[in-house]
Amino acid sequence: MRKYQKTLVILFMLTSLVGIAWASQTLLNANVNAVSQVIQLIQKYYYNATSVNYQKLQDDAIKAIIKNLGSRFTYYFSPDEVKEFEIQTSSKYGGIGTEVTYNSTRNAVEIISPMYESPAEKAGLKSGDLIVSINGSSVKSLGYIPAVNALRGAPGSQVKVEVYRPSKKATMTFVITRALIKLKTVKSTTIEASKTKIGYVRITKFSEPTGNELSNALNSLYAQKIKGLIIDLRDDPGGLFSQALEVASDFLPKGRLIVTVRNRYGVERPYRSYGNIYKRLPIVILVNHGSASSSEIVSAALRDNGYAVLVGERTYGKAAVQTEIPLSNGGLLLLVTDHYFTPNGQDINLKGITPDYVVKESGATSTENENYKQLIQSVKSSTQSTATVNIQKDIQLQKAVKILVNEIKSGILFPRNLIKSK
């Protein structure tokens, strides 16, 4: 009898859950149908229907839905924005090789800087140049995003740009052959301190080539007999989850826990190191408030497993895992479907990671002109794999070097207490 009652309770619960799910789905369908119905009614009856930009109407409606979720890490990319997102994740595109912004005063595409060895640099384009027309069409008539897309194209194809150069008050025409522009996400060099050679690796973001670029950088640094390593993740906004796993695996033994991902139902998926070929060295990771997502996964994985210490400022605190969902209109939805937890079980979402050594950036404020010069230099070097460091002006880097020199001299790999891999 008790077994029969228990069975009835289970059946009742299942029936209730199915009923709730059906009711929720019905409500969802009704709301979605209502949005579609409004757009259809506008198309059929609205007096000025022929002047409506329906793509923009749809984009704005989707963005309003996303905004009302109140999720900081759920995004919608319109079809035009998807192209930019794809470039960010692949770190390559066919084009002339410039970083640009929109000059609303001149209705022109303003060049912040051409990249090293790019078609734009070879053609003679300079910082501050204003592109006013592309292939005979004015930037004003094209609009900013279409104008940027017009500069891109298949490697080997040509583009004609009309440029106004303010310094000479002259307009010039350039015919430029596009090339495959590969943006370097990993830059490296060595630092000499107290007769000790230290490797330095800067990762700017985690995109498709990051893992391979890091392997190349580490092979080169290890060949130079480095005794310690600094991994600079400051202002690295993250990127592809797969690349975070590859990067962390370069420093952790096979099987070590990197991160655990948990969905809304409490289902967990652990991700472990693939293993690597590199000899263990003392490692310091530099972080700040701009270090987010994949940067935090790598930082926590190496620290919690005892393979690095962190220096700098508290990280951003993005533990949201976004799933890419292509939409029927050509747009893309990045929906938060999971949260990740560090190897020691911490949920750092909106909290960040506090470094082992908190070192605030120098209080000296740069002038607007100095900041612009730094931006130009950053753009120029975006296609280079060699890093440039300035220890004299970087107190966080100074601290990292000091820690490594002391640890190398002591002969002890830190930290001593490792967590137990689950």
The per-residue pLDDT of the chain, averaged, comes to 89
> Is position 99 within any domain?
yes
Per-residue model confidence as pLDDT tens digits over 95-135: 999 999 999 999 999 999 999 999 999 999 999 999 999 99
Per-residue model confidence as pLDDT tens digits over 359-415: 998 765 567 777 778 888 888 899 999 999 999 999 999 999 999 999 888 876 655
Per-residue model confidence as pLDDT tens digits over 288-317: 999 999 999 999 999 999 999 999 999 999
Q: Is the confidence at residue 35, as pLDDT, over 70?
A: yes
Q: What is the 3-state secondary structure (H, E, C) of the chain?
A: CHHHHHHHHHHHHHHHHHHHHHHHHHHHHHHHHHHHHHHHHHHHHCCCHHHCCHHHHHHHHHHHHHHHHCCCCCEEECHHHHHHHHHHHHCEEEECCEEEEEECCCCEEEEEEECCCCHHHHHCCCCCCEEEEECCEEHHHHCHHHHHHHHCCCCCCEEEEEEEECCCCEEEEEEEECEEEECCCEEEEEEEECCEEEEEEEECCECCCHHHHHHHHHHHHHHCCCCEEEEECCCCCCECHHHHHHHHHCCCCCCCEEEEEEECCCCEEEEECCCCCCCCCCEEEEECCCCCCHHHHHHHHHHHCCCCEEEECCCCCCCEEEEEEECCCCCEEEEEEEEEECCCCCCCCCCCCCCCEECCCCCCCCCHHHHHHHHHHHHHHHHCCECCCCHHHCHHHHHHHHHHHHHHHHCCCCCCCCCCCC
pLDDT of residue 154: 96
CATH code of the domain in which 283 resides: 3.90.226.10
Residue 36's pLDDT band (cuts 50, 70, 90): confident
Per-residue model confidence as pLDDT tens digits over 238-250: 999 999 999 999 9
Same domain as 296, residue 346: yes
Per-residue model confidence as pLDDT tens digits over 144-155: 989 999 999 999
pLDDT of residue 369: 78
pLDDT of residue 411: 78
Per-residue model confidence as pLDDT tens digits over 362-377: 765 567 777 778 888 8
Same domain as 348, residue 203: yes
pLDDT of residue 420: 41
> Is position 422 within any domain?
no
> Is position 73 within any domain?
no
Least confident of 28-42, 236-250, 258-272: 28-42
Same domain as 361, residue 302: yes
Domain termination residue (choose one: 167, 182, 197): 182
Same domain as 168, residue 192: no
Question: How many domains, in total, are found in the chain?
Answer: 3
* pTM for the model: 0.85
Domain termination residue (choose one: 155, 182, 209): 182
Same domain as 202, residue 171: no
Domain termination residue (choose one: 151, 182, 213): 182
Residue 415 or 254, more confident: 254
> Is position 330 within any domain?
no
Same domain as 207, residue 169: no
> Is position 415 within any domain?
no
Same domain as 367, residue 265: yes
Q: Is the confidence at residue 33, as pLDDT, over 80?
A: no
Residue 15's pLDDT band (cuts 50, 70, 90): very low
pLDDT of residue 409: 87
Q: Is the confidence at residue 422, as pLDDT, over 50?
A: no
Residue 366 or 202, more confident: 202
> Is position 288 within any domain?
yes
Domain of residue 6 covers: 2-52
> Is position 100 within any domain?
yes
pLDDT of residue 277: 93
pLDDT of residue 378: 87
Same domain as 384, residue 248: yes
> Is position 418 within any domain?
no
